Every structure is written in C-alpha cells, then in structure tokens.
C-alpha cells in the first residue's frame, strides 16, 4: 500500500469487540480486574483485531537499521560501522534482540532501510544513510514517505505470513540525536530537556549533541504540524520506517508494540500523521533516555515495565511478549463463574 492508501484504511478500534472482551473477562472466575493492565491490553487487542477471541498467532520483531549523517558532527561515541555489524548479527543470533526473540518465541526481521554500506539483511534501502542535518535536511520529503512505505510494506508482508503482532526496534548509530531533534520539534521543547547521552557520551559530548540539534532545528525550521516534514529535515530513516510499521499495523488491524524512546518517537510521528493509529499501539517500557517520560505522556498509553532499560533494538518490546502470552492463557483457558457454579463478582459501589 502507498501511504495515501494506508491512511484511507485506518479506522478507530472496534468498540463492540472490546465490549465483548471486557464481558468475557468479567465472567472469568477471579476478582474483577485483578490482572489489571494485562486485562486492559487484551481488551485493546480485541478492539484492534475486531475479534474478542484474541489470538496473537505468530509474533515478530521488525528492526529498522539505518545510519545518520549527523554522526559527522561528533555526537556519538561509536562510528557508523557499528550499525552494519550489529544489524547483521541479528540474523546470527549474536545480538541482544535476536537472543530475546528466540526465548520469547518471536521471529526477527532486520531491515536495511539506510545503512551506509551494503548488508546481508532484508533489503529496503531508501538511501545510503541520511545527510548531515547540521548542514542540510536529513532527506527529502519523498524519501521520508518512501521510508514510511517500507514500514507499511513490512506489516502487509508479515500479515500475509500469519503474524498477529509486530514489535518495533531500530539499530543506527546517531539515532538518539535524530530522535531528540524530532521530539524537540513535536513537543516544542528545548533540545537540552530532551537530549541524553545515548550510548555513553561525556558531558562535553552531550553539550555538543544538544548544540547540533538546536542549530539544525534553527537552520531547517521543521513544521511541528507536519510530521513528515519533521522526519525529512531532522529525523532518520529508522524512525520513519518504524512510523510506517505503526501506520501499517493500524491499516492491517494488527497490534504494534513500541520499544523505548526512539520507537515511541516513531509512534508519536505516526499518531500525529493519523490520530486513529493510537488505538493500535502498545507501549512496552519506560526507557532511561530523558525525554521518554514526555513522549509517553504525549502518547498517553500506559507502559508495562520500568526496568531502566535503554538498549533499543526492540529489546523492551519483545520482553512483554511472554507477559501477553500469560494473559491470553488466562483469558482463553480459565474457568468461568458459570463453569464452577458460582455467582459472578460485582463491582462495589
């Protein structure tokens, strides 16, 4: 689907399916809402899929891999060669996300959407890394749209293969810089408030990073009300690709799990492009990056975990898969009050 076709297919969650799911939970033989957010999320998934008989089927993690030209400004501790090394390790089960996927029963799909050199992972390269946003826009608007459509295509393809839920992840040296820049624009915050040390900058390095972001925003003047313009001017291909996954999930009625800071920035972009996308987003954890709380407040979707994680790659998103499996085991297998000949619990007034 093109971006335009995708937006036409996105509708709010199915309220009837959610009501039926909520009714089923109320008939399960346990105190009302005693599984809390687990129950709430199953109800939300019913609304996403339009079916109260919730079955996640096969689980996937899509990792968008791309390099960022702004690395030229010295805003990272590592060089761009690391992006390709880690990206190719996903398929060798040598990266953290791939190891967690194996344990969680999920399949990993690393996508080369913009690595600076050729790679052996799934090929959907829009360009060989973005431009240096300190000097010129990171990409053209057409390239940003193309990156969104890569994410949409991945969800379409996975749905055809029988996947029922998709987690989002990223790999790209310099992407906390681009994520902080996008956050500063969309939330109208000074870069100093939304920029962290990433993979481990010194204090001097952090000040440099903040200055580069502030100057890039002043130079390109991205439009807050046009998320695609923001992505094109100060964003990254990985963020745009993940935003496309969120859009594609909403269009295909598949739940999409956001990871940490960078993934949640992509979710916010997708929701700003089409507000109904919010109904199809599940947040997983609260990252240590300083802007995470602001982004989560803007998303207004409660997270499952607070484990001080900040690795990226989709590691936090995959971590909630076993939790969802346990919730669905109760939802689908536990006795009802009728089964055990007991009166239902009723809400206390």
Catalytic residues: 313
CA–CA dist 63, 234 (Å, integer): 20
CA–CA dist 118, 72 (Å, integer): 20
Burial of 22: CB neighbours in 10 Å, binned 0-12, 13-18, 19+:
middle
Q: Which residues contact 347 (CB under 8 A, 6 or more apart)?
A: 32
Outline where DSSP puts E strands in 94-145. Answer: 106-114, 122-123
Contact predicate 46/54, CB 8 Å: yes
- Residue 105: φ, ψ to 5°: 75, 35
Kindly state the DSSP code that residue 70 receives in the 8-state scheme: G
Q: Work out whether strand 163-171 and strand 58-66 pair parallel, antiparallel, or are unpaired.
A: parallel
Outline where DSSP puts E strands in 58-103. Answer: 58-66
Please, how many CA atoms are within 13 Å of residue 21, restricted to the half-sphere of its CB? Answer: 28
CA–CA dist 154, 152 (Å, integer): 5
Contact predicate 119/249, CB 8 Å: no
Say whether 170 sits in a helix, a strand or coil: strand
Residue linked to tokens 């089409």: 274
Query: Quick one: which of 167, 155, 151, 112 has its CA closest to 244?
Result: 151
Q: Could you tell me the two tokens for 297? A: 């407040």
CA–CA dist 342, 318 (Å, integer): 37
Kindly state the DSSP code that residue 198 receives in the 8-state scheme: T
């Amino acid at each position: 689907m093109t971006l335009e076709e995708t937006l036409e297919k996105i509708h709010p969650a199915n309220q009837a399916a959610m009501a039926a799911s909520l009714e089923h939970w109320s008939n399960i033989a346990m105190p009302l809402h005693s599984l809390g957010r687990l129950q709430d999320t199953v109800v939300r998934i019913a609304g996403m899929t339009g079916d109260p008989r919730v079955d996640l089927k096969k689980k996937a993690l899509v990792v968008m891999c791309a390099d960022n030209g702004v690395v030229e400004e010295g805003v990272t501790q590592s060089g761009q060669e690391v992006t390709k090394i880690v990206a190719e390790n996903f398929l060798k089960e040598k990266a953290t996300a791939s190891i967690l996927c194996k344990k969680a029963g999920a399949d990993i799909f690393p996508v080369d959407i913009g690595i600076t050199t050729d790679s052996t992972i799934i090929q959907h390269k829009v360009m060989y890394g973005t431009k240096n946003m300190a000097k010129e826009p990171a990409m053209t608007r057409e390239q940003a749209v193309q990156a969104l459509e890569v994410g949409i295509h991945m969800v379409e393809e996975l749905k055809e293969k029988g996947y029922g839920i998709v987690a989002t992840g990223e790999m790209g040296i310099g992407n906390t810089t681009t994520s902080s820049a996008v956050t500063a624009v969309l939330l109208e915050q000074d870069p100093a408030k939304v920029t962290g040390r990433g993979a481990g900058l010194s204090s001097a390095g952090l000040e440099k990073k903040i200055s580069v972001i502030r100057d890039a925003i002043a130079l390109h003047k991205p439009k807050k009300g046009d998320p695609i313009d923001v992505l094109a001017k100060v964003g990254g291909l990985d963020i745009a690709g993940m935003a496309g996954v969120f859009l594609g999930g909403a269009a295909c009625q598949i739940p999409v799990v956001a990871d940490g800071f960078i993934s949640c920035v992509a979710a916010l972009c997708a929701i700003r492009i089409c507000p109904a996308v919010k109904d199809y987003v599940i947040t997983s954890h609260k990252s240590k990056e300083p802007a995470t709380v602001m982004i989560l407040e803007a998303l207004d979707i409660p997270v499952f975990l607070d484990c001080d994680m900040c690795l990226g790659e989709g590691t936090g998103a995959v971590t909630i898969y076993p939790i969802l499996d346990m919730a669905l085991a109760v939802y689908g297998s536990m006795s009802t009050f009728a089964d055990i000949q007991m009166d239902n619990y009723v809400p206390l007034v």
